[in-house]
A and B are shown apart, each in its own frame.
Chain A
Amino acid sequence: MYLYQLSIREWWTDLKDTFILNFIADDRYMLLLKGLGNTFLVTLGATLLGILLGVIVALVRSTYDKTITGMHPGPGKFILSFFNKISSMYLTVIRGTPVLVQLMIAYFVIFAPWAKHKTLIAIIAFGINSGAYVAEIIRSGIMSIDNGQFEAGRSLGFNYAQTLIYIIIPQAFKNVLPALANEFIVLIKETSVSCYIGLHDLTKGGEIIRSRTYTAFMPLLAVALIYLVIVMFFSRLVTLLERRLRNSER
């Protein structure tokens, strides 16, 4: 009985000491906070870039699918075919290679001369990566809209672009909003590989602490917990969003 109490007390003191060592001493929690900030920065920037790229690629690809058969040969058809080809190559390459490899190519090869701008390089790499997935989400959203909507728009006198902007995109966007939000959540976790280029993100924060205190358990557990809480928070938001969208469907 006595021995048991002693060991619990020892264990508790030990735990407290490791906690203080890992997070309080030298203000080490700041390493996690700074990392968290960068994780958010990269995720947010990459999401915005991804949506921009994804919308452009989705528009090219669905315009091609919807109009190419009815188009007369000419420069318009040539340009559209050209951009469609580029878009599908982009999708194939990005979705066919690991994001970590893409990040390292961006950092060590393409942007090597600007290596000190790690955050920016990570935003670009993850943004280009995410754009490929966003493109397919948006394209499926556009293709899921009944063709009668296109025809109604065109029959009123709207041109192709106006029909997309006023009629198709608002409906498609509503349909794909949850999927886009999920892409954001995936990206939060995916950016953890940016510690490979030495970017001080949340994961790297934990890594730095581990290398300084020589204890792995607590800093890594803390990192995992923080990711979990963030992901659960945003997943909850997506669920609420989905419910609201469903309710507003009159």
Chain B
Amino acid sequence: MNDDHLISVQKLNKHYNGGAIKALNGVSLDIDKGEVVVIIGPSGSGKSTLLRSLNLLEVPTSGSIFFEGNDITSKGIDINKFRQKMGMVFQHFNLFPHLSIIDNMTLAPRKLLGMSREDAEKEALDLLEKVALKDRAHAYPSQLSGGQKQRIAIVRALAMKPDVLLFDEPTSALDPEMVGEVLDVMKDLARDGMTMAVVTHEMGFAREVGDRIIFMDEGRIIVQGTPDEIFNHTDNERLKTFLAKVL
């Protein structure tokens, strides 16, 4: 029934403290192949919780999530198989400090996809070339700048050839001068047709790259629409208040 959407979220709830906190309060959302969905909203509105529910890093209290037609919230499903197809990029990069860049990138393809070291490294080097970091292949994460780390985190996720990439505030931990280099990589990905769900405070990116903007508040999706609808033609008071603060 949901085969036409890459991801379909239905009536998702995430409660804490026995329902006292409703981090997600009946969220429904479809994401299509090739779409770039940008999630915005004030702090505590549930953006991270929604994004992290998509690959079940957060286990929802109720509701369902279909990924490529499979209900990944149903009992007995092997979530690890599906996570291989859903890459995730974190605010704090989360590179593996004990592994070199190339090993960070090849660990999962080798262990989970059964690729040979040779093949995995060849593909990793191609990806590194795309983000202009091929010469850093044998460096360790702590030797890189924040912007470089996040570009590595993106290609590490890409090395698994995912069908969708989830970004949770990928530029929030970066010095301002490094934000651009990471956003540029994300723009390239969007242009190449990668499906992306991005939580961000970068309204410029949302406007330029987003196919659809989701505005959340208090665990709900308040409005969604094209960047033009959201940024130029909204009459929703909450959204207007939010935009007045961030723009």
Contact = CB atoms under 8 A, between A and B. Distances in A.
Q: Is A bound to B?
A: yes
Interface string B122-144: 00000000000000000010110
The size class of the interface chain B forms with chain A is: 20 to 34
B108 A156 contact: yes
A171 B98 contact: yes
A170 interface: yes
A154 to B, nearest CB: 7
Contacts of B112: 156-158
Contacts, number: 61
The size class of the interface chain A forms with chain B is: 20 to 34
A152 interface: yes
A157 B84 contact: yes
A170 B81 contact: no
Interface string A156-176: 111100100011001100100
A155 B97 contact: no
A152 B84 contact: no
Given A148-B90, A166-B107, A157 B96 contact: no
A167 B96 contact: yes
A155 B80 contact: no
Most A CB contacts (10 A, CB to CB) among B55, B80, B84, B87 go to: B80
Given A155-B88, A157-B84, A250 B140 contact: yes
A72 B56 CA distance: 14
Interface string B91-115: 0101111100000000110011000
B161 to A, nearest CB: 11
Contacts of A166: 107, 111
A174 to B, nearest CB: 7
B27 interface: no
Nearest to B78: A159
B160 interface: yes
A151 B153 CA distance: 13
Nearest to B75: A72
Most A CB contacts (10 A, CB to CB) among B55, B88, B108 go to: B108
A232 B90 CA distance: 46
Nearest to A149: B94
Nearest to A152: B94
Nearest to B82: A157
A70 interface: yes
B94 A157 contact: no
B83 A151 contact: no
Given A148-B90, A151-B90, A152-B94, A159 B80 contact: yes
A157 B80 contact: yes
A174 B112 CA distance: 25
B164 to A, nearest CB: 12
Contacts of B21: none
A93 to B, nearest CB: 35
Given A152-B88, A155-B157, A156-B157, 12 more contacts: A149-B94, A152-B94, A152-B96, A154-B80, A155-B83, A156-B84, A156-B160, A157-B84, A157-B108, A158-B111, A249-B142, A250-B142
30 contacts: A70-B59, A146-B94, A148-B94, A151-B57, A151-B88, A151-B90, A154-B80, A154-B83, A155-B83, A155-B86, A155-B87, A155-B88, A156-B83, A156-B84, A156-B112, A156-B156, A156-B157, A157-B80, A157-B83, A157-B160, A158-B80, A158-B108, A158-B111, A159-B80, A162-B111, A166-B107, A166-B111, A167-B96, A250-B142, A250-B143
